[in-house]
């Protein structure tokens, strides 16, 4: 009986004036080529209030976008990785205030960049004043960066014999400030080391299966391949440029999953 009521309520919501306005707005965005396609889903804790799909999943083929399309959701992988680590914290298997090097030798002896010449690329580094803790990586206060968030990281070229795990030298001493970064990649490695499981396996068993997120994974099964949305972008730097496929495409398999990105999921998941 409740299922029939829920279905009727959902149908009513879908046919509401608000839903019609959303349809018009989203369809218009596709027609203006603001986006190649969009899947929109609105829910409360009880039911789906709105769900529609418009446009194409692949501009090169015109494949229609459907409500169950699989998207590579990039950094929305990060919240899942963070949940996984906090599960291990709850179990007492790792402490937020532990030095991360206790579990990951590769983050011991990290260096902070003390000077960088953008013209020549010349730089100086010094030892970090303190070892980064698990909390620092979880909270993006480790001192790491991304090439798209830091011009130094973008242009940095290490000298022969120097290696920098997770992308480059620290921009500042751990704990000094917040900076969006590859820190969650380190969190992913912590999850793997502490649990003894690969991220794909840990997420499936401890997060996705209990939540019935059956379409969420790094590696997309071949039978679901036709549902995977192509990675697309504007040509050049103009916001009104033509939309084209990114090169290369990620494909169905992620060879080395990381904590900071790469998963595929559907809007319903």
50 is annotated as an active-site residue: no
Can you say how many angstroms the Cα of residue 105 is from the centroid of all Cα atoms in its chain?
A: 25
Catalytic residue of the set 25, 60, 75, 108? 75
Distances (CA, A) of 218 to 64, 209, 260: 23, 14, 12
Q: Which residues, 6 or more positions from 181, have their beta carbon under 8 angstroms from its beta carbon?
A: 140, 142, 143, 144, 145, 146, 149, 167
Question: Other C-beta atoms within 10 Å of 249: how many?
Answer: 13
Q: Is 103 exposed, middle or buried (0-12, 13-18, 19+ CB in 10 A)?
A: middle
Rounded to whole angstroms, how far apart are CA atoms 205 and 199? 10
Q: Is 141 exposed, middle or buried (0-12, 13-18, 19+ CB in 10 A)?
A: buried
Catalytic residue of the set 19, 78, 150, 202? 78
Catalytic residue of the set 164, 180, 198, 224? 180
78 is annotated as an active-site residue: yes
Rounded to whole angstroms, how far apart are CA atoms 172 and 175? 8
75 is annotated as an active-site residue: yes
Can you say how many angstroms the Cα of residue 199 is from the centroid of all Cα atoms in its chain?
A: 13
191: tokens are: 């999850």
Whether 40 contacts 29, CB under 8 Å: no
Q: Which residues, 6 or more positions from 54, have their beta carbon under 8 angstroms from its beta carbon?
A: 26, 27, 29, 30, 37, 38, 65
Dihedral pair phi/psi, residue 111, rounded to 5°? -110, 145
Active site residues: 75, 78, 180
């Amino acid at each position: 009986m409740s299922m029939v009521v829920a279905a009727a309520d959902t149908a009513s919501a879908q046919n509401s004036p608000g839903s019609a306005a959303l349809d018009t707005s989203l369809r218009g965005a596709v027609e203006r080529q603001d986006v190649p396609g969009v899947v929109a889903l609105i829910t409360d804790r009880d039911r789906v209030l709105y769900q529609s799909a418009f446009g194409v999943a692949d501009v090169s083929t015109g494949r229609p976008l459907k409500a169950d399309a699989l998207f590579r959701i990039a950094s929305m992988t990060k919240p899942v990785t963070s949940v996984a680590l906090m599960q291990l914290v709850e179990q007492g298997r790792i402490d937020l205030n532990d030095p991360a090097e206790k579990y990951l030798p590769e983050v011991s002896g990290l260096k902070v960049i003390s000077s960088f010449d953008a013209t020549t690329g010349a730089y100086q580094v010094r030892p970090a004043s303190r070892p980064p803790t698990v909390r620092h990586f979880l909270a993006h206060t480790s001192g790491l960066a991304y090439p798209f968030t830091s011009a130094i990281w973008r242009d940095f070229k290490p000298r022969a014999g120097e290696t920098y795990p997770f992308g480059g030298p620290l921009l500042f001493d751990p704990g000094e400030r917040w900076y969006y970064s590859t820190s969650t990649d380190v969190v992913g490695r912590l999850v793997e080391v502490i649990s003894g499981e690969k991220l794909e396996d840990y997420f499936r068993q401890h997060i996705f299966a209990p939540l019935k997120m059956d379409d969420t994974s790094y590696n997309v099964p071949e039978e679901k391949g036709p549902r995977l949305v192509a990675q697309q972008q504007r040509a050049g730097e103009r916001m009104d440029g033509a939309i084209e496929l990114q090169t290369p495409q990620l494909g169905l398999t992620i060879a080395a999953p990381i904590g900071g990105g790469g998963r595929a999921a559907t809007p319903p998941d």
